[in-house]
Amino acid sequence: MITPLPGVGRGDVHSGVRSLWRYAASFPIAIANPVSMGEGCTPLVEHPWRGGRAHFKLEWFAPTGSFKDRGASVMISALRQQGVTRLLEDSSGNGGAAIAAYAAAAGIKAKMEAMNDLARSGLYVEPTGAGAAAALSGLVRRGVIRPEEATVVVLTGAGLKATKRIGELMGVLPTSA
């Protein structure tokens, strides 16, 4: 259930904390001992662009090089606080890297399943497509989806890197020599 939160003011921001945890008062649950590697607070640089001025957020300064460190820090902190000691992640990219790094920092054992399964299949997809591609491959293998069926996989991010290989795995395209 989603409910409105009371909001925060300047006094609620912990200015001495150099991470997203400076805004902990705005989070819906209190985390006693956050897992942090300094995520958040990446530089915002003003630069001329197309005749105007633009501000660019330099996310590669994040601990694993991705904005996904923010969500990983909060999620792993909450999981550790609840006593979770092992987790399974289905990402093959930046999200998986962030989860693996923060899980390690928290002492949580993490397995990157889709990354392993897809790598063995010779398939690489962006994090947003990893779960969908793995599920699709599994459904075809188990006969739930026939290779000749038209199947739509909705990806909300950058998409697939190896669409030809997916077709080969599904039996829709001939296998490369």
Question: In the chain, which segments carry CATH 3.40.50?
Answer: 17-120
CB atoms within 10 A of CB 164: 11
Q: Where are the beta strands (DSSP E) in the chain?
A: 44-49, 52-57, 86-89, 109-112
CATH number of 17-120: 3.40.50
Query: Cα–Cα distances in Å, from 79 out to 103, 134, 158?
Result: 9, 25, 28
Digit-coded pLDDT (tens) for 10-36: 999 999 999 999 999 988 889 999 999
Digit-coded pLDDT (tens) for 47-59: 888 888 888 888 8
- What's the pTM value of the predicted model, to 2 decimals? 0.62
